Amino acid sequence: MTDHFRNHGRALLANGYLIVPIRKGEKRPAISGWQKARLGMEDLTRYPDHGVGVLCGQGAHPIVGVDIDVSHPVIGPALIAWCRRNLGDGAERVGAAPRILLAYRADSAGWAKGASVQFFDPTDPTKPSGKDNHQQVEILGLGQQFVAYHEHPDTGRDYQWVDLMGGLESLRASDLPVVTEKHVAALLAEVSRLVRTTPGVTVVGSAESPAMRSSSDADDLMSLVARVGMSFAEVERWMSHLENDGDSYDHWAHVGMSLHHEFAGTEHESDALALWKEYGARSSKDDPKQYDYKWRSFGGGSGAPTTLRWLLKICGQAKREKDHEGRRAALDEAKELIQSQTDSLKLGGKEVLEKLKLLIPDDPLVRTEIIGAFQARYKALTKTNMPITQARALLVGPRAATVQAKRPLTEFGNAERMLDRYGDGLMFVPEVGTWFIWTGVYWRRAVDVEIEHLAKETIRALVNEVEEHEERAEFFQFCALSQQARMVSNMVKLASSDPRVAVPAAELDKHSHYLGVRNGVVDLRTGALLPPDPDLRITLVAACDFDPRAKAPVFERTISEVFSGDEDMVEYVMRTFGYALMGTPIEDIMFIAFGNGANGKSTIFNAVRQAFGSYARSADAASFVADGNKGGGGGPREDLVRLRGARFVYVNEPDENGELREGMVKSMTGGDTITARGIHAKHSVEMTPTWVVYMPTNHKPIIKGNDNGIWRRMGMLPFERNFENDPNVPKDGKRKEKLALEMAGILALIVKAALRYQKDGLVPPKRVLAARDAYRSQMDLLAEWLDECCDLDPSATVSSKELWDSWEMFARGRGLLNYIRSSTALSRRLDTRFPPIRGSGGVRLRSGLRIKGSADLF
């Protein structure tokens, strides 16, 4: 008996899977309470001669097993092909062939078991175990597991992973293709369709169950899902936000289920039941007789329980909707009051201002919009601009003083004096140790000499306080001491910790739907220009004013010429720029702009990059493409730190035959937090990417992975026109200068594209999808080599050296030897399909294939 648990468990744990030991000669786990097991490296030697199973439906990367328990010669292969085509290339495990299990990653934890219709084929009546061969597809979710490495109890042979990726040992859980409930529903529908349209098979039992589980499973799962632990009083407060229109019986029942799951068997069970009744009574359709019966029925059925987490989510959503309605009502009332004023004196009069102050909520976004409306109405009435500081002072009032008016003759007093004079225009961010200065439009990073100058100006003005101090000699002595460099430095240092100016880094540029521009702030949700507001903490700005009416005819003509008038491509590329402008890269995608030289890539991207201003960053290709040398882990990553806050990242042209850093691309495009450290920094910083990456290249990088996890992230932008060789394109030597003059128009086009993206998404055209498919086929070198250079024959054998020599010649001829660099790496890729054996004299051989003769190859 092979010690599968110890031999394979280490790699599975390292790859992020949750494992359990499997009994010898069985498929079930060897430990009680296995549904909640969290075994580690220290447990690997505790279960000798055991197999290893993988838990489904839970953990950071919830695994879902698609168990195609089908031996029918038509339906089985059709379902496998459907899964590969629609769900992606998951890991594939065979136990009793041709039955197969495909491993994927669920888009969320907690999935219940699902199952298709069962069917019977009279020409294949029994399984290898001797049981009736009722065939179906099962979806393995929470509370279930599948055997990963073990000896199959019916066949006596080891389970085999037959995918080219090498099975779960070679594949991280986070890299498995993601499937959704819609995918599962579509798969079960496809099973039903195939069964009902295939001659000779009959349906057994009832229809498919997209979320079923046996009652024995349910008991385990009820104990598996922990209570939240919130007090009853707090739950009662949260439920006060919940309306009940009586339209949904299921919604009413789930409220009861969640309260039952949290409080059943506790001192507050009767209170929870009463709270449910109170909630139900808010509906005119309420039936008081049904509560006690329903309450007793909760917790005894099958299926994953509805917990208090569900209820809190619903209550939180209701609270946010109420708060939003309140803020919207206040905003509308304030705007109506402002617009109704026909006299500037009344607009700024006490009566109107007092009403507006009562309406302004404690929300910086709504406050900014009301202040903007006030400024706009004042300008309409007087033809004069009112500074935002004056408008804010009228509507919100001056900032409350945090210290006494008369300052002591100390270093601390000098720091207060400095902030009395300049504090409204200063901000200090402790995490990065940097001062910022308010320009009137945005917060600009200050240099040390600027802050020192403000400190010295404060000291120069100190003499103006002479009348406030009776001890003149002492006062003038302090004035002289304050001019020492040490006193000036200490003043700045003490001022940096004052709450009037100290701002956490998390507050900077945190509202991604706001875009800083040279004349204010653009609300990217509406395209409206708002007045500048220091409370928004915007530190980045586009390179020009925003004018929605600005035009860019040269840019529009250029991008149309680049794509040969293909309007779908032009629209798609513009939407990618609008998507990048949003600062919320939810599409999990980076864009590779490929094509030979003189195709317009640089012209388009440089113009867009200039319009983005400080929201644009350039990045070295080495951050995304490796040259074959492995960098050390844990070192400084200044290249990543400098991307903080960016929205448009332009990667320098990578070298030919570079290999895409797939892990880096996945972490940058997956919405996860990444950690990096500057060159001289003592501590790392955590960042959530706000940027979209564009990599222009004449040579697409090598991508080794064949999983959907990397390929769905590839957005291909084909730049295929050659401006030098195409006589139909007029040459314009002044194009660069003309585009620079259209910067405001280019920015307006990108903002409009962002609005279209929010409405309809990216919508890649067929040309983009075809380019990605072609790229993926081009990178599947191993399959191409097997097809061109090898004969697949179960009785054949070939030495490892012959295989490497053939591969090396094949890959070198294509300039892609980096794809698989060594004989050892090639062996790992072949292990799952072509088992290694030992020949005479210890020669390493592989069975199942042979190298074609050179005459066949060349």
DSSP letter string, 680-707: S-SS-EEE----EEEEEESSPPB----S
Q: What is the pLDDT of residue 401?
A: 45
User: What domain count does the chain have?
Assistant: 5
Percentage above 70 pLDDT, the chain: 90
The pair phi, psi for residue 294, each rounded to 5°, is -65, -40
Average pLDDT, rounded, for the chain: 84
Q: Are residue 619 and residue 736 in the same domain, yes or no?
A: yes
Q: Are residue 13 and residue 125 in the same domain, yes or no?
A: yes
Q: Concatenated DSSP letters for 751-779?
A: HHHHHHHHHH-----HHHHHHHHHHHHHH
Q: Is 393 domain-assigned?
A: no
Alpha-carbon separation of residue 644 from 232, 539, 550, 677, 678 (angstroms): 42, 12, 30, 12, 12
Q: What is the pLDDT of residue 619?
A: 87
Where residue 256 falls among pLDDT bands split at 50, 70, 90?
confident
d(Cα 776, Cα 702) in Å, to the nearest integer? 10
- Which range among 156-160, 242-246, 462-466 shows the weakest confidence by mean pLDDT? 242-246
Where residue 139 falls among pLDDT bands split at 50, 70, 90?
very high
Q: Are residue 244 and residue 173 in the same domain, yes or no?
A: no
Q: What is the pLDDT of residue 239?
A: 84
pLDDT tops 70 at residue 205? no
Q: What is the pLDDT of residue 600?
A: 87
Structure-token match 């060159």, residue found: 679
CATH code: domain of residue 852: 1.10.10.10
Q: What is the pLDDT of residue 407?
A: 82
Extract long-range pairs of 354-357: CB within 8 Å, 24+ residues apart.
Answer: 356/395, 357/395, 357/396, 357/397
Beta bridge partners of 847: 797
Q: Which domain holds residue 288?
A: 225-315
More confident residue, 663 or 13: 13
The pair phi, psi for residue 174, each rounded to 5°, is -70, -15
Q: And the tokens for 244?
A: 């009940």
Domain boundary among 315, 348, 364: 315
- Which range among 86-95, 220-229, 420-429 shows the weakest confidence by mean pLDDT? 220-229
Where residue 402 falls among pLDDT bands split at 50, 70, 90?
very low
pLDDT tops 90 at residue 749? yes
Q: Are residue 252 and residue 311 in the same domain, yes or no?
A: yes
Where residue 297 falls among pLDDT bands split at 50, 70, 90?
confident
- Which range among 76-90, 361-375, 540-554, 557-571 shows the weakest confidence by mean pLDDT? 361-375
Q: And the tokens for 349?
A: 């009069």
More confident residue, 605 or 14: 605
Tell me: the pLDDT tens digits for 51-82? 999 999 888 889 999 999 999 989 998 999 89
Q: Are residue 64 and residue 211 in the same domain, yes or no?
A: yes
Q: Are residue 745 and residue 634 in the same domain, yes or no?
A: yes
Q: What is the pLDDT of residue 408?
A: 81
Q: Are residue 601 and residue 714 in the same domain, yes or no?
A: yes
Alpha-carbon separation of residue 782 from 422, 662, 706, 855 (angstroms): 66, 18, 10, 21
Q: Do the Cβ atoms of 399 and 424 come closer than 8 Å? A: yes
Q: Is 298 domain-assigned?
A: yes
Q: Is 527 domain-assigned?
A: no
Q: Is 767 domain-assigned?
A: yes
- Mean pLDDT of all residues in 612-640: 72
Q: What is the pLDDT of residue 207?
A: 47
Domain boundary among 315, 339, 364: 315
Q: Is 455 domain-assigned?
A: yes
Q: Are residue 417 and residue 432 in the same domain, yes or no?
A: yes
Query: If you average pLDDT over each of 31-45, 266-280, 321-335, 531-545, which comes out highest?
Result: 531-545
Q: Is 378 domain-assigned?
A: no
Tell me: the pLDDT tens digits for 781-838? 888 888 889 998 888 899 999 999 999 999 888 777 777 888 888 888 887 778 888 8
Helix, strand counts (H, E) of the chain:
30, 30
Q: Is 441 domain-assigned?
A: yes
Alpha-carbon separation of residue 718 from 637, 685, 721 (angstroms): 31, 36, 9
Q: Are residue 773 and residue 788 in the same domain, yes or no?
A: no
Q: Is 108 domain-assigned?
A: yes
Residue type, 101: L
> How many of the other CB atoms lie within 10 Å of CB of 799?
14
More confident residue, 469 or 582: 582
Tell me: the pLDDT tens digits for 150-193? 998 888 888 999 876 778 988 888 889 999 888 998 999 899 89
Tell me: the pLDDT tens digits for 529-549? 998 999 999 999 999 999 999
- Mean pLDDT of all residues in 256-284: 85
Q: Are residue 162 and residue 233 in the same domain, yes or no?
A: no
d(Cα 478, Cα 462) in Å, to the nearest integer? 10
3-state secondary structure 285-352: CCCHHHHHHHHHHCCCCCCCCCCHHHHHHHHHHHHHHHHHHHHHHHHHHHHHHHHCCCCHHHHCCHHH
Domain boundary among 451, 472, 507: 507
d(Cα 607, Cα 36) in Å, to the nearest integer? 55
HSE-CB at 506 with a 13 A cutoff on CA atoms is: 1
Tell me: the pLDDT tens digits for 315-351? 877 777 777 777 778 888 888 999 999 888 888 888 8
3-state secondary structure 533-553: CHHHCCCCCCCCCCCCCCCCH
pLDDT tops 80 at residue 592? yes
Q: What is the pLDDT of residue 687?
A: 76
CATH code: domain of residue 593: 3.40.50.300
3-state secondary structure 225-236: CCCCCCCHHHHH
Q: What is the pLDDT of residue 246?
A: 60
Q: Are residue 790 and residue 738 in the same domain, yes or no?
A: no
Structure-token match 């580690």, residue found: 40
What's 708's DSSP letter? H
Q: Are residue 156 and residue 284 in the same domain, yes or no?
A: no
Q: What is the pLDDT of residue 206?
A: 47
pLDDT tops 80 at residue 707? no
Where residue 858 falls among pLDDT bands split at 50, 70, 90?
very low
Alpha-carbon separation of residue 180 from 62, 64, 297, 682 (angstroms): 12, 10, 30, 42
Q: What is the pLDDT of residue 513?
A: 92
> What is this structure's pTM?
0.54
More confident residue, 715 or 263: 715
Alpha-carbon separation of residue 94 from 68, 99, 151, 691, 833 (angstroms): 10, 6, 11, 42, 11
d(Cα 499, Cα 640) in Å, to the nearest integer? 30
Percentage above 90 pLDDT, the chain: 28
d(Cα 380, Cα 368) in Å, to the nearest integer? 18
